[in-house]
Chain A
Amino acid sequence: MIRQLTTGELTVALIASYLWRGLAYGLVIGLAGVGLSLTYDLLDFANFAHGDYITISAFVGWGVAYLVAGFGQFSPGSLLFLGVGGTVYPQDVGISVTAAPVAILVGLIIAALVGALLAVALDSAVYKSMRGAGNITLLIASVGVAFVLRYAAVFLFTQQTFGLTADSWSYEIGLPGGAVRITSASLLLIIVALVMMIAIHLLLTRTKLGKAMRAMGANQQLARVTGIPSEKIVRRTWLIGGALAGIAGFMIALLQGTINYQIGWTLLLLVFAGVIMGGIGSVYGAIVGGILVGLITRVSLIWIPASFTEATGFAVMILILLTRPAGIFGGDAT
Chain B
Amino acid sequence: MSVPEDPVADRLPDSLAVYWESDVVKIGATLAAVYLLYVVAGFLLGYGLSGQLNSLRRLTFLIVLYSIGALVVNLHWGYSGLFNIGVVGFMAVGVYTTTILTRPVAGQTPTGTLPGLGLPLPIAIVGGVLAAALVGYVAALPSLRLRDDYFAIVTLAFAEIIRITAKASELQEFTVFGTTLGTGGGRGIRTFPNPVNQFFEGTGAPVVDAVSGTVDGSLVAGWAFVLVLTGVLVCVLWMIVRLAGSPFGRVLKGIRDDEEATTALAKDTNSFKIRAFIIGSGILGFLGIIWQGSQGYISPGLFVPQLTFFIWIAVIIGGAGSNTGSIIGSILFVGTIYLGPGYVRRLIEEFVSLSGRAATFPDALAALAGGDVSGILLYTLDQTSALRVVLTGVLLIWLLKRRPDGLFGNRREMASSIDVESRVRDRQSSDATTGGEE
Contacts and interface: CB of A to CB of B under 8 A. Distances in A.
Contacts of A194: none
Contact of B396 (A75, A77, A147): A147
B394 interface: yes
Contacts of B408: none
Interface stretch (A8-16, A92-100, A163-171, A302-310): A302-310
A36 to B, nearest CB: 12
Contacts of B165: 308, 311
B306 to A, nearest CB: 8
A322 B142 contact: yes
A215 interface: no
A148 B362 contact: no
A305 B400 contact: no
A156 interface: yes
A141 B396 contact: yes
B260 interface: no
B224 interface: no
A321 interface: yes
A20 interface: no
Contacts of A85: 359-360, 362-363
B387 A314 contact: no
B12 to A, nearest CB: 30
A144 B396 contact: yes
A83 to B, nearest CB: 9
A318 B156 contact: no
Nearest to B395: A144
Contacts of A155: 361, 383, 386-387, 390
B326 to A, nearest CB: 15
A145 B164 contact: no
A144 B393 contact: yes
Nearest to B397: A144
A269 interface: yes
Contacts of A151: 386-387, 389-390, 393
A315 B165 CA distance: 12
B149 A156 contact: no
B366 A308 contact: no
A315 B383 contact: no
- Residue from B365, B383, B389 whose CB has the most chain A CB atoms within 10 Å: B389
Contacts of B386: 151-152, 154-155
B160 A310 contact: yes
Interface stretch (B20-28, B117-125, B166-174): B166-174
- Residue from A126, A143, A154 whose CB has the most chain B CB atoms within 10 Å: A143
Given A150-B389, A155-B387, A84 B397 contact: no
Interface string A119-148: 000000010011001011101110111111
A87 B149 CA distance: 44
Contacts of B143: 318, 321-322
Nearest to B168: A307
Interface string B388-431: 01101111110011001000000000000000000000000000
A318 B154 contact: yes
B361 A311 contact: no
B360 A307 contact: no
Given A80-B362, A155-B387, A269-B157, A305 B168 contact: yes
B146 A269 contact: no
Interface string B117-146: 000000000000000000000000011001
Contacts of A305: 168-170
A25 interface: no
Contacts of A157: 361
Given A140-B312, A158-B360, A130 B160 contact: no
B149 A135 contact: yes
B170 A307 contact: yes
A259 interface: no
Contact of A321 (B154, B309, B401): B154
A140 B393 contact: no
A140 to B, nearest CB: 6
26 contacts: A78-B362, A84-B360, A136-B149, A137-B400, A139-B149, A141-B396, A143-B393, A144-B392, A144-B393, A145-B393, A147-B390, A148-B397, A151-B393, A154-B386, A269-B156, A269-B160, A307-B168, A308-B168, A311-B165, A314-B157, A318-B154, A318-B157, A321-B154, A322-B142, A325-B146, A325-B150
Closest 3 CB pairs of A and B: A147-B393, A144-B396, A77-B362
Given A136-B149, A325-B147, 8 more contacts: A135-B147, A137-B400, A141-B396, A144-B392, A147-B390, A147-B393, A272-B153, A322-B146
